[in-house]
A = this chain, B = another copy of it.
Amino acid sequence: MLENAKKYIDFFYFYHYFLWTIFLKRKRFTFQFVMKLKVLWPGRTRNREIRSLEEHYLNKINQLGKCQLIQVKEAKGINEKFASRIKEIEALELEKRLKDDYIICLFDRGKEMSSLEFARFLEKTASSSGRFITFIVGGFLGLDERLLKRADFLLSLSRMTFSHELSRAVLLEQIYRSLTIIKGRHYAK
């Protein structure tokens, strides 16, 4: 009789432990939704001030989520006259880092969004596709036509033209801002 009761109690504990585990895991799974982000561009940013600003935002992004920054090899030693050749070489380097990623290219005639729209767009894309979201920012001469065609989305940061280096920093700020919006954090307007 006592033996039997112990079995029941054991079962009771085990059963509830099991239920709670599932419940907690589910909660964890729901709340710790990780967006897989990647940012690609050719060559290290030359402007020292912008470079440290990029690092600043990248650190902030990685406190809230995960974002990889990959600076691929840039085309060096080719005269600027051969712009298409330079863009082609850089496109080849960039393409090596793409698999089945959802590709967003920065392009001055791309689509403009508000920061809120951008955040919702990222959230929706990440959760529906589950793929890496990869941003590509061109070099001094912009991006190769082939990459622009392959992109899933062409994004413009502003009607104004920013230098390609500045737009890298602005993009990172917008990614950080998106994460604060998605996670409901307070961040400067």
Candidates B141, B158, B162, B173; contact of A163 at CB < 8 Å: B173
Q: Is the CB of A159 within 8 A of B50?
A: no
Instruction: Count chain A residues whose beta carbon lies closer than 8 angstroms to a beta carbon of B.
Output: 33
Of the candidates A50, A113, A118, A188, the one having the most CB atoms from chain B within 10 angstroms of its own CB is A188
CA distance A173 to B140 in the complex (A): 16
Q: Is the CB of B164 within 8 A of A189?
A: yes
Candidates B50, B118, B170, B188; contact of A165 at CB < 8 Å: B188
Residues of A152-175 at the interface with B, using a CB-CB cut-off of 8 Å, are 157-166, 169-170, 173-174
Which residues in B have their C-beta under 8 angstroms from that of A162?
Answer: 170, 173
Q: Is the CB of A114 within 8 A of B161?
A: yes
Q: Is A112 an interface residue (CB 8 A)?
A: yes
Q: Is the CB of B52 within 8 A of A56?
A: no
Candidates B47, B115, B173, B189; contact of A56 at CB < 8 Å: B47
Task: Output the least CB separation between A52 and chain B (Å).
Answer: 5
Which residues in B have their C-beta under 8 angstroms from that of A118?
Answer: 160
Q: Is A142 an interface residue (CB 8 A)?
A: yes
CA distance A159 to B112 in the complex (A): 7
Q: A162-B173, A163-B173, A165-B188 are in contact. List 9 more A-B contacts (CB 8 A).
A: A50-B53, A114-B159, A115-B160, A157-B158, A158-B160, A160-B177, A163-B177, A163-B187, A166-B169
Interface residues of A (CB under 8 A from B): 47, 49-50, 52-53, 55-56, 112-115, 118, 140-142, 157-166, 169-170, 173-174, 177, 187-189
